[in-house]
């Protein structure tokens, strides 16, 4: 009986499968094609070749050359290194500060703190482009242009991240805080020794999403990183695409390089990534 | 009693210490610059030679309404918003509904594939689409191969198709992202509700309209707010996919503000700030309307 009805169910699902196959193909194809294009030369790409070629090393060599000719002290390694360094620094500081705030807002909450939190949420509506000019002026007064501090200061405290930790702190067992206090633990010790280990899945999700955002950041880094050797992969991509004659093989090789870290994170930590996206709205 | 009071007060104080650094940063990095942007928006001129507007609100009452490019960038942004957001959200809900069916095989694989565009950065996907839709690109050679067109279409060099490519790109990049919200929302709905509906003989469409959509309403409101907010601030795609072209006909508001402020030898900081403040007001008003609409309880 079960077998027959299950095959009937599968037959009814055929339109769903067809729809999913089409959507999946459309979703994956441009990424697949980017990878194959990175191994082809411009002529083959223009001809519409969609399979792997043998130009990968040639493209890589031209990419390394093009990256080195962006200005004094530039190289592909430099741009990748900058992107990694800024993204790591931003991730660590962001999850530390925002978890501390989420912990404070939720587990020590009172009326005044709840009200303050509502005010902070309004920062979500502030358009990035509106704060660009004042922030740029502020950073140049502080001497933070072309520095990691300038890159990350506007991004290490976000209402979204604080909200994520605040929401998830609701599942934190409050009883053990009382027990810890009776044992003589300070409020800071409770945060470091109990909150952090218990909340580690929230930390993982927050770290993944923050790293992705920092790695992919574009508008603000383009404003604050005026020196070529301080710029990131995203800015290199833009610069490479600005010539009159574009070497598409080289460009797709650059896109591939820029996408490898985020792709690895996506495949290895997809669950945390999905949790990080939706984390604040449970 | 007295001792307990001091303990809780001490705890409350500790709470303030914990939230202080992040809170201060938001005030310094978001609210304070917003006030400064408003003050700057009352000035005219360029570079370091900014002077107060005469009349004070000259940017708002005279310069912005007279700026054809800004009006066009606003039209473009709203065009992207009105076409892209509904298509994307409906697609995302449909996909979530289909993928939530436990009888479906390869659910994890399908979910991963639909979600995959989120793994590439906005700049990266903009450049991939730019290459695909280039005059000598894959899309044209495929259409030629199929005999659908006789000569290469200049997708990014023609106003209508350039706008369409931006919309296609946005739908491609963000549908899976929104689907994740709906899948998470659906997980909070008891699966037995669906099984009961099935026993009662409700078909797919009926369950979709009478169970999924009403129960997902809070999620739909939230994703709508986020998408509207994001689309109003669209920047990366306009810069990297079409570069606002041809002749500024596909440019977005944020891109135009950027050009006015940081474009080569421009530096109209006052005017750019005024335009960015207009964007802020639009975001705030649309978010408020959205929340009002989402809040109507039956």
ipTM of the assembly?
Answer: 0.91
Name the helix (H) or strand (E) containing B43.
strand B43-44
CATH number at residue A250: 1.10.3720.10
- Residue A41 placed within a domain: no
Q: What is the pLDDT of residues A30-79, one digit of tens each?
A: 999 999 999 999 888 888 888 998 899 999 999 999 999 988 889 999 99
Contacts of B136 (CB under 8 A, 6+ apart): A46, B152
Q: What is the mean pLDDT of residues B165-181?
A: 95
**Residue-range definition of the domain harbouring residue A165:** 56-281
Q: What is the pLDDT of residues B4-44, one digit of tens each?
A: 556 678 888 899 999 999 999 999 999 999 999 999 999 98
Mutation site for B-interface testing, chosen from A6, A18, A27 by largest number of B Cβ within 10 Å: A27
Residue spans per domain, chain B: 1-38, 66-295
Mutation site for B-interface testing, chosen from A4, A17, A21, A134 by largest number of B Cβ within 10 Å: A134
- Residue A33 placed within a domain: no
Q: What is the pLDDT of residues B114-172, one digit of tens each?
A: 999 999 999 999 999 999 999 888 999 889 888 888 888 899 989 999 999 999 999 99
- Residue A28 placed within a domain: no
Spell out the alpha helix ranges (H) of chain B.
2-26, 32-40, 58, 64-66, 68-99, 107-115, 122-132, 138-145, 159-187, 191-199, 204-207, 213-215, 217-232, 236-237, 253-262, 269-295
Scan for tokens 């067992």, then name that residue. A173
B90 touches chain A (CB under 8 A): no
Number of compact structural domains in chain A: 1
- Residue A272 placed within a domain: yes
Output the pLDDT for position A5. 66
Model confidence, pTM: 0.91
Tell me the count of A-B CB pairs closer than 8 A: 267
Window A:234-253, CB contacts with B under 8 Å: 234, 237-238, 241, 248, 251-252
B18 touches chain A (CB under 8 A): yes
* CATH T-level topology, domain B66-295: MetI-like fold (1.10.3720)
For A19, A27, A176, A210, B99, the CA distances from B119, given in Å and listed in that order, are 22, 11, 39, 13, 20
Output the pLDDT for position B298. 45
- Residue A32 placed within a domain: no
- Residue A9 placed within a domain: no
């Amino acid at each position: 009986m079960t077998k027959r009805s299950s095959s009937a169910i599968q037959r009814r699902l055929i339109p769903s499968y067809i729809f999913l196959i089409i959507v999946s193909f459309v979703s994956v194809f441009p990424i697949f094609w980017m990878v194959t294009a990175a191994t082809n030369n411009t002529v083959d790409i223009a001809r519409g070749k969609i399979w792997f070629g043998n130009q990968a090393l040639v493209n890589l060599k031209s990419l390394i050359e093009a990256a080195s000719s962006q200005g004094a002290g530039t190289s592909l390694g430099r741009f990748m290194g900058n992107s990694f360094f800024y993204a790591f620094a931003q991730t660590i500081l962001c999850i530390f500060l925002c978890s501390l705030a989420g912990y404070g807002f939720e587990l020590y909450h009172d009326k005044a703190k709840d009200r303050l939190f509502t005010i902070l949420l309004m920062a979500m509506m502030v358009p990035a482009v509106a704060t660009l000019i004042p922030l740029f002026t502020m950073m140049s007064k502080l001497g933070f242009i072309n520095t990691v501090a300038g890159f990350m200061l506007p991004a290490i405290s976000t209402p979204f991240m604080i909200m994520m930790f605040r929401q998830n702190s609701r599942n934190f067992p409050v009883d053990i805080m009382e027990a810890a206090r009776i044992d003589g633990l300070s409020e800071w010790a409770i945060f470091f020794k109990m909150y952090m280990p218990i909340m580690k899945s929230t930390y993982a999700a927050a770290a993944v999403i923050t790293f992705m955002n920092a790695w992919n950041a574009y508008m603000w880094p383009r404003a604050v990183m005026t020196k070529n050797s301080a710029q990131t992969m995203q800015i290199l991509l833009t610069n490479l695409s600005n010539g009159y004659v574009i070497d598409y093989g080289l460009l797709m090789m650059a896109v591939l390089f820029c996408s490898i870290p985020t792709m690895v994170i996506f495949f290895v930590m997809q669950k945390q990534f999905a949790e990080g996206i939706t984390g604040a709205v449970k | 009693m007295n001792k307990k009071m001091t303990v809780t007060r001490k705890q409350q104080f500790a709470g303030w210490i914990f939230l202080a650094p992040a809170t201060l940063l938001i005030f310094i990095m978001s609210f304070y610059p917003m006030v400064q942007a408003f003050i700057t928006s009352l000035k005219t001129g360029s570079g370091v030679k900014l002077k107060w507007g005469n009349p004070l609100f000259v940017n708002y009452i005279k310069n912005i309404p007279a700026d054809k490019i800004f009006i066009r960038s606003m039209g473009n942004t709203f065009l992207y918003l009105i076409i892209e957001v509904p298509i994307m959200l409906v697609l995302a809900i449909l996909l979530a509904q289909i993928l939530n069916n436990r009888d479906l095989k390869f659910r994890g694989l399908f979910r991963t594939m639909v979600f995959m565009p989120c793994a590439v950065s906005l700049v990266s996907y903009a450049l991939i689409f730019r290459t695909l839709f280039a005059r000598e690109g894959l899309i044209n050679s495929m259409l030629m191969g199929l005999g659908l067109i006789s000569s290469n279409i200049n997708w990014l060099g023609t106003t209508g198709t350039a706008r369409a490519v931006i919309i296609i790109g946005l739908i491609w990049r963000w549908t899976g992202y929104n689907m994740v919200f709906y899948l998470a929302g659906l997980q909070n709905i008891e699966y037995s509700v669906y099984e009961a509906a099935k026993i009662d003989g409700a078909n797919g469409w009926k369950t979709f309209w009478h169970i999924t959509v009403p129960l997902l309403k809070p999620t739909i409101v939230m994703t709508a707010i986020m998408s509207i907010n994001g689309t109003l601030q669209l920047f990366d795609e306009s810069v990297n996919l079409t570069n606002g072209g041809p002749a500024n006909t596909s440019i977005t508001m944020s891109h135009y503000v950027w050009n006015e402020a940081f474009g080569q030898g421009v530096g109209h900081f006052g005017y750019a700030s005024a335009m960015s403040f207009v964007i802020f007001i639009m975001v705030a008003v649309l978010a408020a309307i959205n929340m009002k609409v989402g809040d109507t309880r039956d």
